[in-house]
Amino acid sequence: MKYDGRTMPELATDHKNRLIAVIEQRQALVGVVGIGYVGLPMAVEKAKVGFRVVGFDRNADRVARVNAGTSYIKDVSSEDLAAVVGQGRLVATTDFTRLADCDVVVICVPTPLTANRDPDISYIMAVAEQVAASMRPGQLICLESTTYPGTTEEVLLPRLETSAVKVGREFFLAFSPERVDPGNARYTTKNTNKVVGGVTPACLEVARTFYSQTILHVVPVSSPKVAEMTKVFENTFRAVNIALVNELALLCDRMGIDVWEVVEAAATKPFGIMKFNPGPGVGGHCIPIDPFYLTWKAREYDFHTRFIELAGEINVQMPYFVREKVIRALGEDGKGLKGSRILLVGVAYKRDLDDWRESPALKILEILERDGAEVRYHDPLVADFSWGGHPYRSTPVADGLAWADCAVIVTDHSGIDWTDVVTRARRIVDTRNATRDVPVGREKVTKL
Ligand code: SAJ
């Protein structure tokens, strides 16, 4: 087999072309570190087009479920997963020494914040040590975790490069941000444009070749920093615009204007605007977190990211605004928060997901309980969760509404019968305008 006019043995010393050859022939062994909502869809997509894929995770339960072909990620069907596992194209392991076998290593580990809201790149650092320990010439390493500009070249590169193993020669290093919108059926890993920045031109060439095997449109940029900044900008754009519409909700409440009507009317403008909705707060593991990676890095340059911090302040206030709305709603019935019964309808951080991490529902629950209310919840997608050391279990909606003095709609799951909710509820605080199409019982409903 010849490639580029040369035999494979000749290529052996030319790592870039050998790697490109095995990628294009789908012979490359792909390692995906972190098989979560980003890593698992990526792993399945690569396996579907013929790559052999090894999913690495410290979570033995996830590893076992992948190897059993049972998906735990909403956007990956167990059918698709079982198929590639059954064909022997995807296997999962907790044995990170097998990274040495991989031609390509894609890192999709979490990048949370510490308790005082500084970046926590400990997951990236841990993987960097594991990759470095099993490093061999001829590997492509791609970081996908959302992080501050500079991480790839300032944190990963020094840990991977040695005097004998040089980036762009013996190994290739790139950053390519994940762009996953959990629950979005229209845009998937395959048809979502992928930005890629390589440490060297050779790194970019290899990384572009890799991603082009399964992604329709790959967008090369001049450096990993540009790619890292692109991603943080994307999430900051959302955080700031959500905060803008949340601030509008606070003002409209004071002015007696229906913010939902304003948002809908503004959305009729055919250009120059993008619709965002006010809400009970901003959840998930991206929008409330990623912008603060940039805030932290900007300080190094004596720069204060005022928009990001202001957006964070406003978004963090929304659960407290929900509390104020609940107090007003209960007041209509001569009740106060203390001793009242509140049913949260929906605890997931956004519609039609079962993910309650960083959900505003958790802060609303905490605030209302602290004020002496008794709080239960109903969420058809979240059977139970634990928060503040307490277990919570979803209450059937009819029982919950019969029990509650006030229902608070926190997540507007499309599978909930909102007419039934309004009919059964005594009082409702609707933080998502989920009841907009319910004509009956409007007198019971207090909108954000
Ligand atoms: N939210 C609002 N009002 C809005 C939009 C969202 O209150 O108008 C709230 C949601 O309820 C949720 C939070 O903000 O609690 C985040 O919403 P999101 O739709 O941004 O959801 P994520 O974090 O799951 O996904 C986002 C991606 N979302 C979209 O592009 C629609 C995208 O920004 C990133 O690819 C992804 O984070 C990520 O992984 O970074």
Specify which residues 113 forms β-bridges with: 119
C-beta of 349 in contact with ligand 1 (< 6 A): yes
Give the chain's domains with CATH numbers. 2-222 (3.40.50.720), 237-447 (3.40.50.720)
Known catalytic membership, residue 102: no
Q: Which atom of ligand 1 is nearest to the CA of 351?
A: 11
C-beta of 220 in contact with ligand 1 (< 6 A): no
Residues 300-346 have pLDDT tens digits of: 999 999 999 999 999 999 999 999 999 999 999 999 999 999 999 99
Q: 402: which 2 tokens?
A: 């019969």
- Predicted pLDDT at 34: 97
- The active-site residue out of 108, 142, 203, 286 is 286
287 Cα to the center of ligand 1, angstroms: 6
End-to-end Cα, the chain, rounded Å:
66
Q: Which atom of ligand 1 is nearest to the CA of 180?
A: 35
Average of per-residue pLDDT across 401-417: 98
CA 391/CA 263 separation, integer angstroms: 37
Q: Which atom of ligand 1 is nearest to the CA of 235?
A: 33
pLDDT class for 116, splitting at 50, 70, 90? Answer: confident
pLDDT class for 31, splitting at 50, 70, 90? Answer: very high
CA 348/CA 414 separation, integer angstroms: 12
CA 83/CA 340 separation, integer angstroms: 51
Average of per-residue pLDDT across 195-202: 97
List Cβ neighbours of 138 (8 Å cut-off, separation of 6 or more).
15, 18, 19, 103, 170, 171
Residues 356-408 have pLDDT tens digits of: 988 999 999 999 999 999 999 999 999 999 998 899 999 999 999 999 999 99
What's the count of helices (H) and strands (E) in the chain, helices before strands? 16, 17
The single residue listed with the structure tokens 């990001």 is: 308
Of 191, 207, 101, 133, the residue nearest 91 (C-alpha):
101
Specify which residues 140 forms β-bridges with: 104, 172
